[in-house]
Structure 1
């Protein structure tokens, strides 16, 4: 979906001021409430806006250790292993990938011992051949999408 300058301004407000009302967003942007709501509805319908819940910190929830765990899976078992991963609460994301492994997961843990326990749980899943782990030391660029959105609005051919 092409985003224009108004869409970008709307998305910026939704990201930076997520608890503000639609009426207040419309006032800040200088547009009619109906126009704003129609834009938000369209971006939700087209999958640009996928949620509006709070961003949670695993570290603040007592899980400060973050690891990326690559999982190699026996052929034909990718869906089964993916389903099993969804049952492990410490797995906060999992992706099918190309390259050195079949799945890449983000795993959070209370400490290194807990991380080892989670990895041992992964190794025991039917269809898992091996795992390879990398522990994150420090977040350098937090998850962000606004710079991408802003770059799309500036590209030639973006609608106005």
Structure 2
């Protein structure tokens, strides 16, 4: 789906203020309410926007430690089965990807402190189908969920 400058402006507005009503978006963008409504519908249907919700920050409710866990799975068990089991058993898993390379999956996990992070990593290792894990603790988050620069880059290339 191709984006234009109005799409980018609408995405920026709702990224900065997810609870902003459609009418206020229209006022700030200088377009009709129906234009904003139809643009939002098109962005949703096109898979560009997957919902307008506040971003939850685990650090804000005590989960200050982030780790990245590489998982090797038992090749007799499928990735989807292991992913489902991990998602059901470990609520501290925030992101999960099947990856290429030496490992099969990469997880982003959170915990309140190092001791509880060890508990999370131990629980991951015990999930059926997990053969081996390796983890790294994030020392600092420079940014996360950064998509607006990409949207702006795509739109800047428009004639």
TM-score range, shorter chain: over 0.9
Q: Using structure 1 for the length normalisation, give the TM-score.
A: 0.93
Is 1:121 aligned to 2:123, yes or no? yes
For residue 95 of structure 1, what is the aligned residue in structure 2?
97
Q: Secondary structure at the match of 2:28?
A: helix
Q: Using structure 2 for the length normalisation, give the TM-score.
A: 0.94
CA contact (8 A) 2:4 2:158 kept: no
Higher helix residue share: 2
Q: Distance in 2 between matches of 1:76 and 1:49?
A: 36
Root-mean-square deviation (Å) = 1.2
Q: Distance in 2 between matches of 1:31 and 1:3?
A: 17
For residue 59 of structure 1, what is the aligned residue in structure 2?
59
Q: Distance in 1 between matches of 2:102 and 2:121?
A: 17
| Unaligned 5+ runs, structure 2 | none
Report which structure shows greater RCO (CA 8 Å, sep ≥6).
1
Query: Aligned pairs, how many?
Result: 157
TM-aligned CA deviation for residue 156 of structure 1: 4.5
CA contact (8 A) 2:71 2:130 kept: yes
